[in-house]
């Protein structure tokens, strides 16, 4: 049997070399769709532009705070930058557009770099808080802080809170409280403090309260009526329970001390002098003694030492009044008042002393924002742990950064509270805010044209 010889040339003649020129059904549809879809997209894009619908150009939903602008992208996006018309398809959100509404001042006059608004407050990510900026925005400068001139007043290198944040300035510097009111926390937190109705055990809330809680009933006396009402900026807001509860009110005698510490001025009278300047106290004591002695409502008391120039206890009414006034005021100035105040007699002959200003520090962290309200589930002692053993007014009982880091851990920690820079620090110096210059009207409202809206 003859052997067949198969060559590549013979085998090649079996294949249709023009197969790729034939149009199959799938190829036909691919060609149709490749033309129809772009054309349809361009028609939709063009018709949307003609109808004023800018939704096709949006890169995502706006934040809740900007929802009033609806689909009017031109409210923020413009091709005009610093008065110059830019050429191109993309219109960025300029700082001028942001400042039309927010009037946000700069950060520091000496800064070497000023970021754009949109680089920190990133839009089109849905319902987010635009003030919650990423730490990376802060680190751009504070990772290696420099100033246009001079030396930075702040820490030069900060990367994050849980591992690279410096100690709080008052704690780091070993600052001392410059207040002049003598106070011993250790004694007042004892178990057997003499109260107006017997032995009591004080708690922090008995003395330290936020402005919003200043008029709440106090445990030991109805002294809240004499308390100075909180400023309007700190007054409680029924719709915002956090308002007026950021910081504690400075301790005052009328609110926190008068119930236990009376200011009795005479052994024969249970009445207290007003907690006022020495001149007012002197006039009060003089008036009460004169009326009491004249009306015989005050019984004479035996003097511990003889009155100079007087023999055998024969005392005229005028001399007796002066002597009793002298003794009563000596008790006030050198014992009662001196228990808490720095009392200074400018000369040996001075009848009235000078009382040093209290100098109570209201806010210790001047460059940070803090609120006690979100921390109300924690006991005071868990943060202010040194209070129970403090015996000196000069003790600064501020917790250190390590205390805060126990809860405010890295953002990736499953059991850690948020710890972004924005929680405690502000970028804009709002003290330098300029006047408002509203640039929009009611035409920006997102309410449908029918006028129907929710209550």
Question: Interior CA angle at 343 toward 338 and 347, to 5°?
Answer: 135
- For residue 378, what pLDDT is reported? 93
φ and ψ of 277, to 5 deg: -65, 155
Choose the weakest-confidence range: 203-207, 259-263, 315-319. Answer: 315-319
What are the beta bridge partners of residue 269? 266
pLDDT confidence tier of residue 452, bands split at 50, 70 and 90: very low
Of the candidates 235, 238, 257, 254, which has an alpha carbon nearest to the alpha carbon of residue 246? Answer: 235
Q: How buried is residue 19: exposed, middle or buried, by Cβ count under 10 Å (0-12/13-18/19+)?
A: exposed
Q: Give the three-class secondary structure for 85.
A: strand
pLDDT confidence tier of residue 314, bands split at 50, 70 and 90: very low
- For residue 388, what pLDDT is reported? 93
- pLDDT tens, position by position, 130-178: 889 999 999 999 999 999 888 888 888 998 888 789 999 999 888 899 9
Rounded to 10 degrees, the C-alpha dihedral 238/244/245/249 comes to -140
Backbone conformation region of residue 82, classed left if phi is above 0, alpha if psi is from -120 to 50, else beta: left
Highest mean pLDDT among 112-126, 290-304, 410-424: 112-126
- For residue 97, what pLDDT is reported? 84
**Higher-scoring residue by pLDDT: 22, 272:** 272
Burial 272-296 (b: 16+ CB within 10 A, else e): ebebeebeebbebbeebbeebbeee
Nearby residues of 441 by Cβ (< 8 Å), 6 or more positions away: none
Of the candidates 322, 293, 291, which has an alpha carbon nearest to the alpha carbon of residue 309? Answer: 322
- pLDDT tens, position by position, 55-101: 676 678 888 888 887 677 878 887 776 667 766 666 778 888 888 88
Strand ranges, E, within 196-334 = 198-200, 264-266, 269-272
- pLDDT tens, position by position, 149-158: 888 888 889 9
pLDDT confidence tier of residue 302, bands split at 50, 70 and 90: low
Rounded to 10 degrees, the C-alpha dihedral 433/161/127/412 comes to 170
Sorted by where each begins, the domain ranges of the chain are 8-53, 264-339
Average pLDDT over residues 322-349: 89
What are the beta bridge partners of residue 199? 194
209 contacts 230 by C-beta, under 8 angstroms: no
Rounded Cα distance, 46 and 399, in Å: 61
- For residue 403, what pLDDT is reported? 94
Of the candidates 400, 382, 398, which has an alpha carbon nearest to the alpha carbon of residue 166? Answer: 400
φ and ψ of 311, to 5 deg: -115, 145
Question: What is the enclosing helix (H) or strand (E) of 344?
Answer: strand 343-344
Percent of the chain that is helix, strand, coil (3-state, to 5) = 35, 5, 60
- pLDDT tens, position by position, 198-229: 888 999 999 999 988 888 888 876 544 444 55
Q: What is the mean pLDDT of the chain?
A: 82
Choose the weakest-confidence range: 6-10, 360-364, 417-421. Answer: 6-10
Of the candidates 152, 151, 143, which has an alpha carbon nearest to the alpha carbon of residue 421? Answer: 143
Q: Tokens in use for 374?
A: 């979100």
217 contacts 224 by C-beta, under 8 angstroms: yes
Q: How many CA atoms lie within 13 A of 437 on its CB side?
A: 10
Of the candidates 262, 212, 203, 268, which has an alpha carbon nearest to the alpha carbon of residue 237? Answer: 212
Rounded Cα distance, 357 and 255, in Å: 18
Residue with the two structure tokens 């001042």? 105
Q: Write the DSSP symbol of residue 416.
A: -
Q: Give the three-class secondary structure for 415.
A: coil
């Amino acid at each position: 049997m003859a052997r067949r010889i198969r060559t590549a040339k013979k085998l090649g003649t079996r294949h249709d070399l023009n197969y790729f020129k034939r149009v199959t059904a799938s190829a036909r549809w691919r060609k149709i769709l490749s033309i129809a879809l772009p054309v349809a997209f361009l028609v939709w894009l063009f018709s949307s532009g003609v109808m004023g619908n800018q939704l096709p150009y949006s890169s995502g939903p706006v934040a809740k705070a900007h929802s009033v602008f609806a689909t009017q992208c031109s409210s923020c996006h413009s091709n005009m930058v610093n008065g110059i018309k830019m050429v191109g398809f993309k219109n960025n959100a300029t700082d001028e557009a942001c400042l039309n509404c927010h009037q946000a001042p700069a950060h520091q006059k000496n800064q070497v770099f000023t970021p754009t608004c949109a680089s920190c407050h990133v839009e089109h990510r849905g319902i987010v808080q635009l003030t919650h900026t990423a730490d990376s925005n802060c680190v751009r400068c504070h990772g290696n802080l420099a100033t246009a001139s001079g030396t930075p007043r702040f820490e030069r290198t900060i990367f994050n809170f849980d591992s690279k944040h410096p100690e709080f300035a008052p704690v780091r510097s070993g600052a001392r409280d410059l207040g002049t009111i003598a106070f011993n926390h250790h004694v007042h937190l004892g178990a057997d403090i003499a109260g107006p109705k017997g032995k009591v055990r004080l708690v922090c809330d008995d003395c330290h309260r936020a402005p919003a809680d200043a008029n709440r009933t106090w445990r030991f006396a109805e002294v809240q009526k004499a308390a100075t009402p909180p400023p309007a900026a700190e007054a409680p807001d029924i719709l915002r329970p956090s308002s007026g509860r950021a910081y504690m009110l400075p301790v005052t005698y009328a609110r926190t001390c008068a119930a236990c510490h009376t200011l009795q001025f005479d052994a024969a009278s249970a009445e207290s002098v007003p907690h006022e300047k020495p001149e007012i106290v002197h006039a009060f004591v003089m008036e009460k003694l004169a009326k009491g002695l004249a009306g015989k409502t005050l019984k004479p008391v035996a003097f511990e030492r003889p009155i100079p120039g007087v023999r055998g206890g024969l005392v005229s009414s005028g001399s007796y009044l002066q002597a009793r006034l002298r003794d009563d005021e000596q008790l006030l100035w050198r014992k009662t008042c001196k228990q808490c105040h720095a009392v200074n007699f400018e000369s040996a002959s001075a009848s009235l002393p000078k009382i040093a200003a209290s100098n109570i520090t209201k806010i210790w962290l001047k460059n940070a924002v803090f609120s006690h309200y979100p921390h109300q589930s924690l006991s005071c002692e868990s943060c202010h742990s040194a209070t129970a053993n403090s015996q000196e007014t000069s003790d600064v009982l501020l917790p250190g950064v390590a205390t805060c880091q126990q809860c405010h851990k890295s953002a990736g920690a499953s059991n850690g509270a948020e710890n972004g820079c924005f929680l405690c620090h502000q970028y804009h110096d709002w003290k330098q805010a300029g006047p408002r210059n509203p640039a929009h009207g009611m035409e920006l409202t997102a309410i449908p044209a029918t006028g129907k809206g929710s209550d």
